Structure 1
């Protein structure tokens, strides 16, 4: 990935456009933040105040340029994720595996050098650490999720799979307190920390979204819309675009309702359920979003890697679909991005394949999660041991009407 970044100016790697966002846009925002204010009147600033801290940090690293420090900090976050996944995979107890660490290590380079010049690796680190902390401390889980949500909102979704009852109350209370204290600190330290809300509401339909794929195909059927650079992305402008954006928001609301229904009806929790639920939630919100930028695949790779640290996960086929979608995404951007912008058949087919895989992964993820956690009646978990003290079931045999799980 570093080698690709060093050859960033090659045509197939985007003529330098991929890395330009750091040394031009992020560095500009760093200059604004260093004067104690958020870029309130910049239409490209659409991020919660925690993003300011992430973008400000490279300027504090001595001896390196802003670009070099940004890449170094991203590599440090990557290493932290890898170490956390490896530690989770080696944890004592049944059902753990190093497959998650291997998945992350092998999956991230499929996006070429893009992860090194976006701050989504840092955001993913908060989500990954939050999920992996759940088995040890629900408070730490909630606090890390809140910090991630203050950088980019989606990490709060990892709390949807926390088991009901006391763990949920503890995690959400910790998240609320951490978020409130941190947000107060931003309000006291900077001007206009909530300006992003105004810019975020004006976003339209990005060409790489599911709705954008439909509009790209519609151009071949006579639709007269055009593509323009707006709010930091290539978006469609023309008739019916607002209707497509509204439909995307409606689908997002429907996805949230489905997730709440799953949570209410779920009756069987395993150690992997919080991981699986987090991946399913982020997949659903990604697929129904008005924007599906290539760096969003980093989120899905990280959450799928967490799922794969447990042998009890239901998301292995979903992880395979995410890998395939990631590979296609890196072909579409940067190599063939001009084809995607031009809505040529090549660009349309690339986006149709990528988004089709993501949509399939989202449906499959929720279906497998739902089936694995449904309440069929009663479930009796019978712990077995081969120790010297007990060599038989700790519980007497279950009645024939009950389902027995020797896992």
Structure 2
């Protein structure tokens, strides 16, 4: 099936989705039963009944976006309008963390990710991402670090320092990305999406549409692939990305990142040093107005995705599971689905990957994490003014 045929069949659903908060991230296609084009992944069967887990409704937050566990078992949860919460899932107690910077809230922008420094127990450092206002009607993603001072149910961010910014700041309120992660060597990774501007993803004078690798203080590692090509390029590990909202390392240390493609082109990519993933020159999807984008196989110099979803799942949040509660799932990746309202399980075989199954969650899923006890935890996206629930998934029975 040619991509223009797919676009024609899906156009009504895609245009309707364009009014949703994450419209530019994709939409559910109309041809769920159609065969996938060559090189792309067909829609998986959504498991509505007989799920191998039971769901505990733990709490509700106001537009939650990200979470991370503290060593004492409590959670830090970001809320998109600019609040950082401390939540105890055992007691239900919650409090506010003061000292959060002002965020530029609107569209896909606001407070983003939160992660702990690998030596948090010794240094108390947390890293946060958020949309930051610029001059005029512009904005861009930023990453800051601060020392978390806990006090009772709440706390404070002390000595906050911005260590990275998207360059340049642009208009619009979409495609920030700004998911952050640390690797086993202590390097800081930042997904910097292309802000719906397309061409910056191929421009090495901009860090938009790039995966960024830094030292924990924001300085540039000497072995980055483009370190001799200028200040901005030196930050870059890979380029040619669209809207990256999930990042994690598998048990062998391989880095996997998913991104929202255009219409019919969501991707899971195995990240290689210095690789160009082709956007907007190539994609296995098309523009939302139906204009075709050449497929990856027409330009072999660009790295191709390990998995493509031609029926969009709108991926958000990502964890590669290593816990004990679901032993059969050890090494599997779990991706939250926004438009697909699902939890997607991905199986890996070395450098290859495939969607293994999909679980119908009945709501848009924004974030997925593994708890210290091996349970899976998910955050729903905002539900029509009702907030987003924190859910705990444990084995059925």
TM-score range, shorter chain: under 0.3
Structure number with greater Rg is 1
TM-score, structure 1 as length reference: 0.25
Q: Which one has a larger percent helix, Structure 1 or Structure 2?
A: 1
TM-score scaled by structure 2? 0.25
